Structure 1
Amino acid sequence: MRVAVIEPLQLPKDFVMKKFQALNCDIVLFDSKPVSQQEVFERCKKADIVVLVNTPLTAETLEKLDGLRMVAVSFTGYDHVDIEKCKEKGIVVSNVPEYSTHSVAELVFGMVIAALRKLIECDKAVRASKGNEGLMGNELFGKTMGVIGTGKIGQKVCELALAFGMEVLAYSRTEKEELIKKGVRYVSLEELLRRSDIISIHVPLNKETKGMIGERELAFLKDGAIVVNAARGAIIDIEALVKELERGRIFACLDVFDVEPPLPEDYKILKVKNTILTPHVGYCTREALERRLDVTIENIKAFLEGKPRNIVNL
C-alpha cells in the first residue's frame, strides 16, 4: 500500500515521516506544493492513498487516477477536492474536523484587538521615534459581536467574546442551546449585520454560503464596523468588500481570500488601507498542526482496517 503525501504538512519532515511509518505502508513525502494539475497527477499516479492539505484535486485529474482508493484531506475544508468525481469512482475522502478550533478563534481576537488598538500603527510609531499621538483605540468590552455560524469555531468565538464582556449575537442554521444559556442571542442575518460592531464569519463554503456577504449585506453594516473572515474567502463578495472599504466606512480583518495566498500583486484589496491581512494562518500553530497530523493518520489507519471515519462523501 503506497501513501503519497503530495505537499508539506508544515511540520519537520523527520517528525512527519516517523508518524506515518506507524501505518506500515510505503510512504512518499514531497517537500513542495505541486504547481499544476499535471504535477498533482505525477505525484498521485502510483498511490493508493493520497494525503493533501489545500492543493486542488480536480475531476480531470481524478479521472486518470485508476488506482486511487482514498484521499485523506489534512484540513477541515475539502471544497478543493472534486467530491462528486470521488464518489463516482468509489474513492473515499476524509477530512480533519475541529483540529484548529482554538487557533482560529484566537487569531480572530488577535486581529480584532490589533485593529481596535491600532497595534500596527503603534509599532510603526515607536520605530519612527514618535509618541502616541493619534493612536487612541477602543475596547472590546461592551461592544456587540456578531458571529455567523456557530459550529465548533464559531462557538469558541462566542465564548471568548462573552469572556471579554461583549454582547454576542449569532446567526446559524442550527441554534445551540448551550450558547443560549450562556447569553448568546440568535437573530436574523440582517439584524446581526445592522447591530454588530464586529462581525466574524465561521460557516463552511458551499452553494448556499458562497457570496452570502455581498453588496446588500455590507450596506447593512454600521459605520466603523469590523468584518473578520477566517473561514473561506469566497463567502464574502471580494469586489463588493473592496468598494465598501474604499469608502473608508468599515474595516476588514481577512485571513482568507477568494484565491489562496500568495496573492497576485494586482489583487485589489492589497491597495486598501483599512485592513489587516494574514496569509491563511488561522490554523497554523504547532499544536493545531500536530493534532491535524495525528487525526489524518488515524483516518488512514481506520480506512485500512475497514472502519473509515471522518468521511465526507458517503
Structure 2
Amino acid sequence: MKIVMIEPINISLLKIEEYRQRLEVEGHQLIAYSNRAENESEMIKRAEDADILIIANQPLSAEVINSCQNLKMISVAFTGYDHIAVEACQKNDILVSNASGYANQAVAELVFGLAIDLMRKMKESDQAVRAAKTRKGLIGNELAGKNFGIIGFGSIGQKTASIAKAFGCNILVDNHKKYKAGEEMGVEYLAVDALLKKADVLSLHLPLKKSTKNLIDAEKIALMKKTAILINTARGPVVNSKDLAEALNNDVIAGAGIDVFEMEPPIPKNHPLLNAKNTILTPHTAFATEEAFLKRAEIVFANIEKWLTGDPQNVIS
C-alpha cells in the first residue's frame, strides 16, 4: 500500500522514520511531506496515487478525493473532521478514521488556563507590574464554588469536568445525552437555556454541525450572567463572533477566552473579537502540545495498521 502523509503532523523526522520502518516491514510505502500543499492542484498531485492518506486539518475537498482513484482509507490526525468531504468518501467507499482522544488533556488544560487568566486578571496584572502599578482594580475571583457549565459532554467535555470538579466547581452539563461519567461526578443536567442562565463559566466542547453553527448568538449570550465568562476551544463557528464582540463591549458578559475562529489563524485584522473588551485570544493552540502530538501520531498510525489487518478503529465514515 502507498501511504501518503499529505501534510506534516508535528512529529520529528526520527519519529516518522520509525513509522516508515514499521510499515516497510509489512511491505508498505510511506511518503511524508514536510509542508502543506499550497493549492488543490498540488494536493491532487501528492495524493492521486495513494491508497491511504494521512491528513491533519487542511481542508480535503471532494475534488481532491474524487481524483484519487486508488484511495481506500484516510487517517485524520485530528478529532474534528468537518474539513473532510465525508460525502465524497462515502460515495467512493473510502473509510475515514480520526484521532479521537489524543488532545483531551491538552484542550482541557487550556480551558482552565484561559478561565484563570480571565478570572484572576493575569494579563492586566502583568501589565500593571511592568508599569510600576499596584494590584488596585485587579482583585479577581476563584473557581471554587462556581457553576461550571459545559455544552458538549464527550471525552474532552468529561475531562474538563473532572478538572473543574478538582477545583471545587459545581458541574452543569447540557442534557443532550447523559453519560456514566456525569453520574460519577455528580453533574447537574440542564436544558441549554437553563444552563446558560446558571453558569459562571461556560466551556464549549461540541462539534460543528448545521445544528450547532451560531449556537451561541446574541440571544443566547443575553441569557448569561453579567459576571460570566465564555471559553471556546471547540469550533469557531459555534459562536457568532460579531454577537460575542458586541456583548463583551456592552458588558453583557464579563469576558471570553477564544482559541478557535471561523478560519484558521492568522485571522483578518477586521475580525470583531480583536477589538472586543476582556478577551484572551489564542491561535488554535488548545490541542497543540508535544505530548498530544506524540499521542496523535500513535493513533493515526494505529488506525492504519488496524485497518490493514481488517479491524478498523475510530471509524467516522
Q: TM-score, normalised by structure 1?
A: 0.95
Question: 1:52-81: per-residue Cα shift (whole Å, max 9, x none)?
Answer: 110001112212221212111011111100
What is the aligned partner in structure 2 of residue 34 from structure 1? 37
Q: Is the 8 A contact 1:194 1:222 kept in 2?
A: yes
> RMSD over aligned Cα, in angstroms?
1.4
Deviations 1:184-241 (A, max 9, x none): 1001101100111100011111222122112211110110210111111111122221
Please name the residue that 2:171 is paired with.
168
Matched to 1:294, the amino acid is E
Report the secondary structure of 1:10's partner residue. coil
**Bigger CA drift: 12-21 or 294-303?**
12-21
Residues 246, 276 of structure 2: 8 Å contact kept? no
**Matched residue type, 1:6:** I
Correspondent of 1:100 among 93, 100, 103:
103
The question of 1:296 aligning with 2:284 is answered no
Is it true that 1:73 corresponds to 2:86 in the alignment?
no
Are residue 270 (structure 1) and residue 274 (structure 2) matched?
A: yes
1:259 positional shift: 0.9
Alignment-derived partner of residue 92 in structure 2: 89
Shift in Å, 1:306: 2.1
Amino acid aligned to 2:223: F
Amino acid at match of 2:83: H
2-side partners of 1:34 and 1:122: how far apart?
42
Q: Which amino acid aligns with 2:13?
A: K
Say if 2:49 and 2:69, in contact at 8 Å, map to a contact too.
no
- Aligned-pair distance for 1:113? 0.3
Q: How far has the Cα of 1:269 moved from its partner?
A: 1.2
Q: Confirm whether residue 114 of structure 1 aligns to residue 117 of structure 2.
A: yes
Is 2:247 the partner of 1:244? yes
Corresponding residue for 1:15? 15
Q: Output the amino acid matched with 1:12.
A: S
Checking the alignment, whether the CA contact within 8 Å between 1:200 and 1:229 is kept in structure 2 is yes
SS of the equivalent of 2:135 reads coil
Structure 1 portions without partners, runs of 5+: none
Query: What amino acid sits opposite 1:53 in the alignment?
Result: A
Task: For residue 269 of structure 1, give the secondary structure of its aligned residue in structure 2.
Answer: helix
Aligned equivalent of 1:311, options 298, 308, 315? 315
Deviation at 1:13, TM superposition (A): 2.3
- Superposed counterparts of 1:100-249, under 5 Å: 100-249=103-252
CA distance in 1, matches of 2:220, 2:229: 14
* Deviation at residue 117 of structure 1 after TM alignment: 0.8
Structure 1 residues 173 and 21, CA gap change in structure 2 (3 angstroms) = farther
| Residue 124 to residue 200, structure 1, CA distance change in 2 (3 Å) | same
Q: Secondary structure at the match of 1:147?
A: strand
Q: 1:230 to 1:31 in 2, by over 3 A?
A: same
Structure-2 separation of matches of 1:245 and 1:157: 24
- CA distance in structure 1 between the aligned counterparts of 2:133 and 2:44, rounded to whole angstroms: 54
Aligned 8 A contact 1:150 1:172 in 2: no
Which SS does the other structure have where 1:308 is aligned?
coil
| Pick aligned residue for 2:46 from 34, 38, 43 | 43
Paired residues of 1:248 and 1:274 also in contact (CA < 8 A): no
Cα offset, 1:35, TM superposition: 2.8
The Cα offsets for residues 85-121 of structure 1, whole Å up to 9 and x where unpaired, read as 0010111111011111111111101110011111111
Measure the CA separation in 2 of the matches of 1:87 and 1:75: 19
How far apart are residue 180 of structure 1 and its match? 2.6
Identity within the alignment, %? 39
Query: Which whole-Å CA distance do the structure 2 matches of 1:257 and 1:147 have between them?
Result: 19
2:204–2:232 CA contact under 8 A, matched in 1: yes
Q: Matched residues in 2 for 1:235 and 1:76: separation? A: 16
Distance 1:176 1:110 in 2: 26
Name the SS for the 2:3 alignment partner. Answer: strand
Q: Which residue of 1 aligns with 2:284?
A: 280
List runs of 5+ in structure 2 lacking aligned partners. Answer: none
Report the Cα distance in structure 2 between the residues aligned to 1:187 and 1:236, rounded to whole angstroms: 20
- What is the TM-score normalised by the length of structure 2? 0.94
Report runs of 4+ in structure 1 exceeding 3 Å deviation: none
CA–CA distance in structure 2, aligned partners of residues 13 and 127 of structure 1:
41
